[in-house]
Amino acid sequence: MQKRIYKKELYDLQVELVKFQKSVIADGKKVCIIFEGRDSAGKDGTIKRFSEHLSPREIRIVALSKPSNKDTMSWYFQRYVPHLPSGEEIVFFNRSWYNRAGVEKVFGFCTKEEHKLFMEEVGDFEHLLTRSKMIFFKYYLDISKDEQKRRLDERRRNPLKQWKISPIDEKAQLMWDEYSKARDEMFIKTDFVYAPWTVVHTDDKKEARINTLKHFLSHVEYENKDESKLFYDNDVVFAFSMEALKEGKIFP
């Protein structure tokens, strides 16, 4: 996507987001958007484009650190509940409770029984959220192995991105297949009618950001909505399905 076109579309979509937030505040809506994906898939950048021109008093970005000893002895979802949105609020989760389905499973940070219990409980947990009239979206940012390698190498070279490199990031390429298996199991078992997964191809960051914004805005209601600006590319952002998985639409 050309930079000039990207900037124009981004501006228009961020105007639409401001309109949407006005409706959230006026109507007391609760909005929760979670972003999952492999390391370097673009979660930070996408959340930034969603949030940068919204009223900071009514948004929060949640990126939890490693669980404490107290957290590990509590009900798994307990540490996430206090961060859920109240009325008039939009909350962005930069990784979420799905850590248990991904990195915790891959690196053995949880037991098989804990993983199994999570898979059994997460549907009930998300059903409670959606039944409370919470606007709830789950995005998985999908990246190819080659592009992930390029971005991780760039992080190592860039002194301003050193903070993004962790021991887990260093193993992202080595554990690629294990992550893929865990991701596919997560999709199959946690893609619910009331809380479906939306997949975003992110090898082109600009296209990914623009199409994620369009997808989100096209699926919510607000006053003075400009539908003409919200047509998204189904090859970039699409609903998870077994067909998409089997046909290789999701990166292997």
Nearest to 98 by CA among 126, 70, 72, 74: 126
Token digits of residue 192:
């619910």
Count Cβ atoms within 10 A of the Cβ of residue 68 and give its class: 0-12 exposed, 13-18 middle, 19 or more buried.
exposed
Mean predicted lDDT score pLDDT of the chain: 96
- As a residue count, the chain comes to 252
Average pLDDT over residues 179-203: 98
Judging by DSSP bridges, how do beta strands 59-62 and 30-37 pair with one another? unpaired
At residue 55, the pLDDT reads 98
At residue 160, the pLDDT reads 84
- Is 100 part of any domain? yes
Residue 101, by phi and psi: left (phi above 0), alpha (psi -120 to 50) or beta?
alpha
pLDDT tens sequence across 89-133: 999 999 999 999 999 999 999 999 999 999 999 999 999 999 999
At residue 221, the pLDDT reads 97
Count Cβ atoms within 10 A of the Cβ of residue 131 and give its class: 0-12 exposed, 13-18 middle, 19 or more buried.
exposed
CATH number for the domain that contains residue 84: 3.40.50.300
pLDDT tens sequence across 149-185: 999 999 888 888 877 777 787 789 999 999 999 999 9
Nearest to 29 by CA among 69, 87, 75: 87
φ/ψ of residue 174, rounded to 5: -65, -35
Average pLDDT over residues 65-93: 96
pLDDT tens sequence across 31-66: 999 999 999 999 999 999 999 999 999 999 999 999
Nearest to 92 by CA among 54, 131, 40: 54
Q: What domain range includes position 63?
A: 3-246
- Is 251 part of any domain? no
Q: d(Cα 22, Cα 151) in Å, to the nearest integer?
A: 36
Contacts of residue 45, Cβ cutoff 8 Å, sequence gap at least 6? 205, 209
What value does the CA radius of gyration of the chain take, rounded to a whole number of Å?
Answer: 18
At residue 135, the pLDDT reads 98
pTM of the model: 0.96
Answer for the pair 98, 118: CB distance below 8 angstroms, yes or no: no
At residue 170, the pLDDT reads 79
**Count of the separate structural domains present in the chain:** 1
At residue 168, the pLDDT reads 82
Angle, CA 111 vertex, CA 118 and CA 33 arms, to 5°: 35
At residue 244, the pLDDT reads 97
Nearest to 35 by CA among 9, 55, 11, 61: 61
Q: d(Cα 137, Cα 32) in Å, to the nearest integer?
A: 7
pLDDT tens sequence across 230-243: 999 999 999 999 99
